[in-house]
């Protein structure tokens, strides 16, 4: 359900530029199937021409315990319980949902879109929205504009993407970088956007494009971006993106999960 061709293109470009450097995407297929199904998995991967060399087949046991051993930067699964277990273990993780429409994705540029609060950043501000309302939220963000937000569960993954981007920039390949990142947030730029941008700057992180939607639906903008994956902590936005053809991933973190479970 994820476009691996774009990842493999990034790896191929990195190999050309840095033939002696092994800092590239490393894909591990994790399954709780028994080892006997390994041949079938290998045949399927070869059939689709994918380069996946690491397998972890746990024979019915949860693979979560192996994530740390594999130095996992991001864990994706269709199993929401395993994803929740990984999040609680401090590993960047999300539940994958396939798109409801077929959309053509770039094979030569990996595009990754992130929500902000409770994804890149902590849910500190989202808690105020849920518990005290939007007016109090706007006031809080303006008062704390120069105080960086705490990090959220996918901050490290954005940082990893940034490190790979800088390897291209160092070779004067900024304009041809095969990785592009997007912040797609329901925040308003005028009333609460400054704190987000200042937080990224304080972390030394760049985001290629920032879209502040001021509460407008995210799905139509994602159709324009065509990201290979979009991360959000609220199923409402995940489902809206999915309906319009975006592969979306739910990050089960923060106060929004409490409200989602109670409805």
Tokens of 191: 């009333």
CA dist 219 and 231 (Å) reads 12
Q: Give, for 256, the enclosing helix (H) or strand (E).
A: helix 255-261
How many residues are listed for the chain in this entry? 263
How many Cα atoms occupy the beta-carbon half-sphere of 197 within 13 Å?
14
The answer to whether the beta carbons of residues 182 and 113 sit under 8 Å apart is yes
Confirm whether 233 is a catalytic residue: no
The answer to whether the beta carbons of residues 75 and 86 sit under 8 Å apart is yes
> Which residue among the candidates 21, 26, 115, 232 is catalytic per the annotation?
115
CA dist 45 and 196 (Å) reads 40
How many Cα atoms occupy the beta-carbon half-sphere of 66 within 13 Å?
13
Active site amino acids: 115
């Amino acid at each position: 359900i994820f476009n691996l061709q774009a990842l493999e293109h990034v790896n191929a470009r990195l190999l050309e530029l840095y033939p002696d450097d092994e800092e590239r995407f490393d894909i591990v297929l994790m399954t709780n199937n028994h080892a006997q199904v390994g041949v079938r998995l290998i045949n399927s991967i070869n059939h689709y021409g994918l380069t996946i060399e690491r397998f972890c087949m746990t024979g019915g046991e949860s693979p979560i315990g192996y994530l740390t051993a594999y130095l996992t930067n991001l864990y994706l699964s269709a199993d929401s319980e395993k994803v929740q277990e990984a999040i609680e273990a401090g590993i960047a993780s999300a539940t994958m949902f396939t798109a409801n429409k077929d959309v053509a994705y770039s094979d030569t540029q990996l595009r990754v879109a992130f929500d902000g609060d409770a994804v890149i950043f902590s849910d500190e501000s989202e808690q105020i929205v849920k518990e005290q309302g939007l007016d109090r939220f706007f006031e809080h963000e303006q008062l704390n504009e120069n105080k960086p937000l705490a990090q959220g569960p996918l901050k490290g993954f954005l940082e990893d993407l940034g490190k790979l981007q800088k390897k291209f920039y160092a070779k004067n390949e900024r304009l041809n970088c095969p990785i592009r990142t997007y912040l797609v947030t329901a925040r308003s730029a005028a009333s609460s956007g400054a704190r987000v941008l200042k937080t990224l700057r304080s972390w030394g992180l760049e985001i290629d494009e920032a879209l502040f939607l001021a509460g407008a639906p995210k799905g139509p903008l994602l159709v324009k971006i065509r990201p290979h994956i979009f991360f959000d902590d609220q199923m409402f936005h995940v489902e809206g993106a999915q309906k319009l053809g975006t592969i979306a991933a739910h990050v089960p973190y923060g106060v929004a999960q409490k409200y989602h479970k109670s409805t």
